[in-house]
Structure 1
Amino acid sequence: MASTSQPHSSFPARPFNNIRNPPTTTAFAQSQPALALRQKERLSKDTQAQAPAPAMAPPANAQMNILSDEQREEINEAFVLFDNDKDQRIDYHEFKVALKALGFDLPKPEILTLLTTHGIPPDTAARNGIRDPNIPPGRLLLTLQAFQTIAGNLIAARDPRDEILRAFALFDTDDKGMITLEDLRRVAHELGEGLEEDELRAMIEEFDLEGKGGVGREEFIQICMG
């Protein structure tokens, strides 16, 4: 059913056709419901988010430079959020959950390989000038700059369909295969956004191409891909 209301920006209006412009940097990210997407992606907790953030290092490589400001911000926020002891280093476990918050659930061998390549010894050893090659990878630490490099490479190499489906799943939490009016209500409520019922309904009507009462995965992908 077509809507006679003014166009809404609840779903991406602009096409994005490469990995450097995922939904979080399109019109979707600038809409009210998309704020929920950003918040849920970061898996943030109020008490942790309030902690003082370390000074952000400049982008570590060319890959970071081609990411959007929002993508760089998300990388930095993930590092700060999961640097539990706020020592500006993250260990194996902090690294794993920080990557998971960004959408990358890597297996243990891959995590250890990245630590071997980019990690540094614990501060105590570093201060003593010890560079023991026998330190197990699981004990190595990552600086913010190293994390930026790793996360930047992963984001830049991500398939845009994966990013779109990840965004879709954050609305369709019960895996029913579509984003419904109730999903939009929930997102608006969780975020405390004062969206009117008719506005939420119009968002669904505008993009429900088959008149089934919700926006399906393929519809969502087509909208995002332009």
Structure 2
Amino acid sequence: MQSLISTLENATVIVTGGSRGYGAGIAEAFVKAGARVWITGRDAERLQTTAHKIGAIPFSADVADGQAWDRLIEEVLNNSGRLDVLVNNAGEGVKVCQTSEQTDEAIVRSLASNLTGAMLGCRRAAAIMQSQRSGLIVNIGSACSTHAWPGWSIYSAAKAGLLMFTRCLLTELRPHGVRVTSVMPSWGQTEFTEAANLPPRDPAILTQCISPADLGQLIVQTACLPPHLIAEEIKLWPMVQPMTQL
């Protein structure tokens, strides 16, 4: 197996939702491994701050906007001539509550952020990587894609859709030498809980949950697998999460 640095040195990487949380941790891990990394986000100011901090290239975009994807891909190819890794990390809880309490707007937004955006990116990346006969797509899902909890119906449905989409995409791209991986983390040290208006987690528990750096390290290690191997699906749990909730 090649060393991490020699494998990813000068590789071209896109990480969506890279201004904070898991996305920032994933992007930083790739930068440290020697890759040239573009990060996307809707908050331009926060995106610029994170990009400057970790050494990434910012690109303001909403992943659910196909034209924004076209502009991003054009910029990446004009600068690098190829795309080696796409990490579809962007997503949000939007509104975690009973289905009867949801709004139409929240449902549409959750599907756009957690499913449609990744599909739009994969469509474009797949064409590029098929032509290159190499590349890796990592779709960041959730443990919610395979486990049911009350209040999580809309988010879980979107992530379950992403899981099946990823499985099918792998069958399409394997013959072209392109790898596709689904990574499904559970409890994390991110702002997801607050953004979804959930009760705050005990600080002592939170420190033992999945950190952005933890997930970044895992994704980089996955990218560094020998090209003849593929990690199809990875589900990541913190040891502190009660087993009764698995």
TM range, smaller chain? under 0.3
Which structure's CA Rg is the greater one?
Answer: 1
Q: Which of the pair has the greater relative contact order for Cα pairs under 8 Å at 6+ separation?
A: 1
